[in-house]
Structures are given as C-alpha cells and as structure tokens.
C-alpha cells in the first residue's frame, strides 16, 4: 500500500532509509493509547457534525476491531508504515476501506503522538506511585521490627554515633515519600490534553476539545497549540523524578552491598535476590542490588539524552521529538522493576541484630556521649571535646575502649565523672537518650513509625 502521506512523492523509497525514520519498532508500545485517542477523536467528530454518524460509526467499529486484535496479539506492525499512528490507520483502512481516511480530519500526528504519550505516562506514573507506596509500606514494617536494633551510624563511612536500624530505614522511607510526592505532583502537568492542536496552529474545523478531553479523562487542555505539540517537559519531569528515585534506590543498594559483605555481615539477602559464582562455590553475591545501582546510570542517561535533544529545537514539531520515546520506555521498565525488586529484597532480608550491636561496642562511637556527659556537668563543650579526644588517643595506644577506662582514672582526669558514666557509654543508652525531635531515640523512632503508618493508611 502507498504511504498515507504519499501524494506528493514519486513512490520510490529505500527500505533502509525508511527503517532509519521509523519508530514502530518501539512506539508500538503506544498502540493502546493511540486507539483510545482515535476513538475519542472520532466521537468528537461525530458530536460536532464534522463527519456524519454513519461514517463515524464505521470508524468506531473498525477501531474496536483493531483494539480486540491488539489484545489478542494478532496485529503485525510494519516498518513501511513508519510509526504506530500510520500502522493503526492502515489497519483501519484494511478493516473498513476508504472511509477510514476521515479519521484524520482536524488532526495531525503531532497532536496525536503527544496525546498518546500523555495518556501513557498518566498510567505509568500512577503505577509508579502505587509501587513506591508498597515499598514505603515494607520499609515501615522492617522499621517496626528493628526499633531496638542498634547499629553504628556513619559519617564519612566511619563509625560516628550509634543509631536505631529503624531510624536508618526510615530515612529511606522519607526519601521515598518525597519521590512519591514528586510523581504525584507531576500528574497535574501530565494530565493535559494536546489533542485538537492539530499540526501546530489549531484547525478550521469546529472541533470541541472539551468533549475530547472528557472522553479521554484529561483534567485540562493545552491553551497554546504550538506549546501543545512541542512540549516534552512532562516527559523530562518524569525522567528527572525517575533519576532522583533511582539515586535513592542506588544509595540504598550500595549500603545493602556493603552490609552483605564479610566485613559487615549486618544483613543477609535471601537466595532469591542473590546469585552464586561459577568458579567460587562459597559465593553469594548481591547481584540484584548491584544491578539496580548499575541501572541508575541508564536512567540518568535517558534524562540527559532528552534534555540534549530538546535544547536547540525551534517551535513547533521536529522529527527529533521521535527520540523522546525509547528513553521514556526504558526508564519506565527500569524503575518499575527496580521498585519491585527493592520491595521484595527489603521485605525478606535477614537482619543480624547481634552483629550490628556488637560493632557499636568495639569502637569509639560513644565518644560524643562522654563529651555530652561532661558538657552536661557544666564543662564547656569545646573543652569536653578536647578532654575526650585525648582519652580516645590514650585508649588507642593501649588498645582499649572508653568503657574500659577505670573510674579512678576518669576521676583523675575529671572529678565530675561518676559511676553512671558506664551506662551512658553503652550504645543502647546512647540511642535511647536521643529524644530530640527527629532524632534516633526510640520514642522519636516510634513517632516516625506512627506518622508513617497514618500517612500510608491515608494514601
């Protein structure tokens, strides 16, 4: 069949050049949305009297037949038909004959493709929001089981101060909450309909855009036709939100990878989320966590790729826009799967409570407790810091820890130190006493969990 736009062309075409221009190998993922958009458009054409009802109904029946074939996996797309829009229109011609040509009245592929992508991303973002909520749920569950699990808190990856493992998990909960908010807020900018902008300037036909928007369930309509067909901000925002989300998942994965190592042994991932080595029989590798960390790179890349595609484009449509799709599809698949894997991995991980607590006992992460103790007894904090620094240095040369220093020695250094210091130096007590709002104290962590549960129940 001749090309649908073939009128002014002499009919000769080269397959390899067609293949370069075609988007059907990837934009076939928009088939459902393309049919949905066409159905709304043809109903609007009937409603406004732009085409008569008999013709319109034939088109509707034809589109519904194609929809069924799509669901049954019976459609074979072709490169000659370039993209999803021309493929579907060609199927329509095959179904109902020349009347199919009326569907494209008052429409262009430019507003059509933009509409398809808005519809597609609306569904994707809703799915992503649900997946993030499910992951947050699991984080809260794990936090609740680990309120009293004591671990070293780190700065510079050095033992800093003891914390509750729940507090650590809830930090990720907070990041994921922001991610979910970002995706939710972005919906208002995805939920806008470009359809009816036609190629770039609108149309002379008496279309009813509000009617189409109602049919498609769009919350609003683009008010400038040039913007409507050339706006890809909503995709960039999705890619950017996805990049931030992946950065969070990647940081978490990095920690899981460390925690699974022989040096840490803080957690163990289940076999499902681990793999072995083909040569070293003892190995249990955190491959899934490593892959999520690795896949973060392609998600960042997709954002940069589209930003770069867009930066020099004059208004309105340019074929460059066709490059917006693969990164969007790839990012969608990557974040959906990464969220599913993360959720399963965290839900099933085994936490090595003893090992975590023990690693806060043979270290100096209680040095701040001693300094705070002195400051609490009226010694200026800077001076207290200096005193404790010297004690740490002496301990290091003797190969002991602060809790091993006998009371007489403490009192020789500072008479204000009493026997209650040893309890203060215990990592459990150090965590328990951090009552400041948002701190790691058990009361604070419990409050965070309560608030999280309420917010999840509301969501």
Given the rule CB under 6 A, which of 48-56, 106-114, 298-306, 330-338 is the region that contacts ligand ARG?
Answer: 106-114
| Residues 333-372 within binding reach of ligand ARG (CB under 6 A) | none
Closer to ligand ARG by CB, 110 or 366: give it.
Answer: 110
Task: Please state the closest distance from residue 210 (CB atom) to ligand ARG, in A.
Answer: 24
Q: What is the C-alpha separation between 260 and 10, in angstroms, rounded?
A: 65
154: three-class secondary structure by DSSP: strand
Candidate residues 319, 378, 436, 458; the one interacting with ligand ARG per rule CB under 6 A: 319
Q: How many CB atoms lie within 10 A of CB 455?
A: 15
Candidate residues 83, 89, 215, 237; the one interacting with ligand ARG per rule CB under 6 A: 83
Given the rule CB under 6 A, which of 72-80, 109-117, 406-414, 423-431 is the region that contacts ligand ARG?
Answer: 109-117
Task: Please state the closest distance from residue 242 (CB atom) to ligand ARG, in A.
Answer: 20
Residues in the chain: 459
Interface with ligand ARG: number of residues (CB under 6 A): 10
Q: What is the C-alpha separation between 161 and 368, in angstroms, rounded?
A: 7
Is 322 near ligand ARG (CB under 6 A)? yes
> CB–CB of 226/108 below 8 Å?
no
Given the rule CB under 6 A, which of 62-70, 315-323, 408-416, 434-442 is the region that contacts ligand ARG?
Answer: 315-323
Candidate residues 173, 183, 252, 317; the one interacting with ligand ARG per rule CB under 6 A: 317
The answer to whether the Cα torsion of 48, 51, 54, 58 is positive or negative is negative
Cα 98 from chain centre: 45
Contacts of 119 (CB under 8 A, 6+ apart): 33, 36, 37, 216
Quote the longest CA-to-CA distance of the chain.
102
Is 91 near ligand ARG (CB under 6 A)? no
Task: Please state the closest distance from residue 109 (CB atom) to ligand ARG, in A.
Answer: 4
| Residues 111-170 within binding reach of ligand ARG (CB under 6 A) | 113
Closer to ligand ARG by CB, 55 or 231: give it.
Answer: 231
Closer to ligand ARG by CB, 235 or 384: give it.
Answer: 235
Closer to ligand ARG by CB, 195 or 449: give it.
Answer: 195
214: three-class secondary structure by DSSP: helix
> CB–CB of 238/186 below 8 Å?
yes
Q: What is the C-alpha separation between 363 and 209, in angstroms, rounded?
A: 68
Is 43 near ligand ARG (CB under 6 A)? no
Q: How many CB atoms lie within 10 A of CB 106?
A: 20
**152 bridge partner residues:** 162
Given the rule CB under 6 A, which of 105-113, 152-160, 178-186, 211-219 is the region that contacts ligand ARG?
Answer: 105-113
Q: What is the C-alpha separation between 295 and 331, in angstroms, rounded?
A: 9
Closer to ligand ARG by CB, 198 or 391: give it.
Answer: 198
Is 262 near ligand ARG (CB under 6 A)? no
Task: Please state the closest distance from residue 84 (CB atom) to ligand ARG, in A.
Answer: 7
Q: What is the C-alpha separation between 68 and 85, in angstroms, rounded?
A: 17
Given the rule CB under 6 A, which of 98-106, 173-181, 314-322, 390-398 is the region that contacts ligand ARG?
Answer: 314-322
- What does the DSSP 8-state code read for residue 63? H
* Omega before 148 within 30 of 0, i.e. cis: no
Task: Please state the closest distance from residue 318 (CB atom) to ligand ARG, in A.
Answer: 9
Contacts with ligand ARG, residue ranges (CB under 6 A): 23, 27, 83, 109-110, 113, 317, 319, 321-322
């Amino acid at each position: 069949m001749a090309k649908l736009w073939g009128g002014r062309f002499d009919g000769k075409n080269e397959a390899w050049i067609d293949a370069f221009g075609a988007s059907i190998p990837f934009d076939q993922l928009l088939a459902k949305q393309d049919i949905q958009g066409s159905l709304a458009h043809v109903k609007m054409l009937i409603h406004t009297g732009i085409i008569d009802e008999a013709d319109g109904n034939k088109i509707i029946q034809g589109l519904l037949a194609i929809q069924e074939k799509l669901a049954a996996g019976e459609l074979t797309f072709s490169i000659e038909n370039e993209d999803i829009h021309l493929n579907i229109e060609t199927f329509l011609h095959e179904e109902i004959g020349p009347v199919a040509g009326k569907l494209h009245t008052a429409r262009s592929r430019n507003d059509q493709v933009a509409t398809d992508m808005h519809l597609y991303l609306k569904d994707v973002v809703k799915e992503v929001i649900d997946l993030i909520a499910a992951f947050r749920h699991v984080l809260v569950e794990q936090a609740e089981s680990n309120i009293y699990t004591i671990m070293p808190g780190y700065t510079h990856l050095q033992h800093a101060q003891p914390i509750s493992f729940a507090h650590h998990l809830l930090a990720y909960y907070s990041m994921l909450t922001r991610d979910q908010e970002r995706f939710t807020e972005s919906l208002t900018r995805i939920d806008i309909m470009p359809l009816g902008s036609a190629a770039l300037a609108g149309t002379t036909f008496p279309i009813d855009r509000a009617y189409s928007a109602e049919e498609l369930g769009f919350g609003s309509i683009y008010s400038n036709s040039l913007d409507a067909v050339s706006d890809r901000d909503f995709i960039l925002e999705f890619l950017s939100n996805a990049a931030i989300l992946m950065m969070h998942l990647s940081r978490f994965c990095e920690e899981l990878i460390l925690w699974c190592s022989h040096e840490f042994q803080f957690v163990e991932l289940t076999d499902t989320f681990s793999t072995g080595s083909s040569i070293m029989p003892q190995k249990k590798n955190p491959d899934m966590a490593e892959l999520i960390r690795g896949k973060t790179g392609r998600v960042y890349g997709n954002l940069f790729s589209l930003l770069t595609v867009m930066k020099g484009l004059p208004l309105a449509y340019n074929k460059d826009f066709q490059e917006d799709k693969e990164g969007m599809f790839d990012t969608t698949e990557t974040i959906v799967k990464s969220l599913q894997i993360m959720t399963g991995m965290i839900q099933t991980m085994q936490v090595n409570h003893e090992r975590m607590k023990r690693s806060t006992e043979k270290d100096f992460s209680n040095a701040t407790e001693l300094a705070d103790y002195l400051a609490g007894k009226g010694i200026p904090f800077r001076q207290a810091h200096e005193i404790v620094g010297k004690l740490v240095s002496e301990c290091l040369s003797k190969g002991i820890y602060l809790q091993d220093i006998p009371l007489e020695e403490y009192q020789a250094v500072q008479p204000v130190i009493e026997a209650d210091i040893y309890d203060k130096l215990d990592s459990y007590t150090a965590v328990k006493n951090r009552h400041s709002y948002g701190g790691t104290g058990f009361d604070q962590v419990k409050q965070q969990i309560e608030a999280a549960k309420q917010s999840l129940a509301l969501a």
